[in-house]
């Protein structure tokens, strides 16, 4: 890993905020998936016990509702994934922390979610400092709740978040949810970022090739005689 590149990235407070917020959301998603999965299974079992005539292949139909607090978290997630420069301000991060806290207050009786929030709270209120043994120094300054990570740990978090971002771009391209020009601009920003950060670029080669292939295929399709580019989806 190129330590100078990592140090340069973490010297940018807005980028570090972006990574921290994204990592928090990935932790939250992982925890909620287990909880929601158990709740859905329990609900279906109770439903079948109360009405056995439905059978295991019965389909539930109806609209879904999302609480205002959940919508706020979803909005934050979209802002992070769609951030062209992969940066957020400290003010945004503080507001994000409040929204996460308000959302998780709805799950105070779920031990694993409470435990994850403790990790999230510590992460958001501490400085991310990276210990570099070779240089006997730490990137960032130690604070009262300092959290020191190895360069490998930070790199793993960055890779996970960037893969998530590339997957988001891929799905939008596949579903044609954004205009080709907007998609091209987003992709170029990521490419420029990776050109300047070899340690991350090497681990995302396959993801970038997959995305480039899809974009090229769509571009060739749009150039076929008599073929029109589909309108942007609402």
Q: Output the pLDDT for position 137.
A: 46
Please report which residue ranges of 82-110 form alpha helices under DSSP H.
90-104
| Alpha-carbon radius of gyration of the chain | 21
Q: Is residue 145 part of a domain?
A: yes
- The reply to whether 228 falls in a domain is no
The single residue listed with the structure tokens 């950060």 is 197
Using DSSP, state whether 128 is helix, strand or coil.
Answer: strand
Angle at 75 between CA 36 and CA 69, to 5 degrees: 55
Q: What is the number of domains present in the chain?
A: 1
Domain membership flag for residue 60: no
Three-state SS at 112: helix
Token representation of residue 114:
């409470």
Give the CA distances from residue 174 to residues 48, 96, 232, in Å, rounded to whole numbers and listed in that order: 37, 30, 12
| Residue 170 belongs to some domain of the structure | yes
Closest listed residue to residue 76, CA positions, set 122, 28, 135, 144: 28
pTM for this structure? 0.77
Q: Which two tokens stand for residue 4?
A: 């100078």
pLDDT of the chain, 234 residues: tens digit per residue: 567 888 889 889 999 999 999 999 999 888 887 777 776 777 667 766 777 666 666 665 655 566 788 899 999 999 999 888 899 999 999 999 999 999 988 888 888 888 888 888 888 887 776 555 555 444 444 444 445 677 888 889 999 999 999 998 898 888 887 777 788 888 889 999 999 999 899 999 999 999 888 887 877 776 666 555 555 444
Structural domain boundaries, residue 208: 3-54+65-222
Q: Is residue 232 part of a domain?
A: no
Is 234 within the bounds of a domain?
Answer: no
Domain annotation covers residue 231: no
DSSP state of 230: P
Q: Does residue 36 form part of some domain?
A: yes
């Amino acid at each position: 890993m190129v330590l100078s590149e990592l140090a340069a990235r973490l010297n940018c407070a807005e980028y570090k905020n972006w990574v921290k917020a994204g990592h928090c959301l990935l932790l939250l998603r992982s925890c909620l998936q287990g909880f929601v999965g158990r709740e859905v299974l329990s609900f279906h079992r109770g439903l079948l016990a109360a009405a056995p005539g439905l059978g295991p292949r019965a389909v539930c139909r109806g609209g879904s509702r999302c609480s205002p607090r959940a919508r706020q978290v979803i909005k934050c997630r979209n802002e992070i994934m769609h951030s062209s420069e992969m940066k957020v301000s400290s003010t945004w991060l503080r507001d994000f922390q409040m929204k996460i806290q308000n959302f998780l207050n709805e799950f105070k009786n779920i031990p694993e979610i409470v435990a994850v929030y403790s990790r999230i709270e510590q992460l958001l209120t501490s400085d991310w400092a990276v210990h570099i043994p070779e240089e006997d120094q730490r990137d960032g300054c130690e604070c009262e709740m300092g959290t020191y990570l190895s360069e490998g740990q930070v790199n793993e978090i960055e890779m996970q978040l960037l893969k998530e971002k590339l997957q988001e771009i891929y799905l939008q391209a596949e579903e044609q949810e954004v205009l080709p020009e907007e998609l091209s601009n987003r992709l170029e920003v990521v490419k420029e970022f990776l050109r300047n950060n070899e340690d991350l670029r090497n681990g995302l080669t396959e993801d970038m090739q997959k995305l480039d292939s899809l974009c090229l295929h769509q571009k060739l399709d749009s150039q076929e005689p008599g073929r029109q580019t589909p309108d942007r989806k609402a």
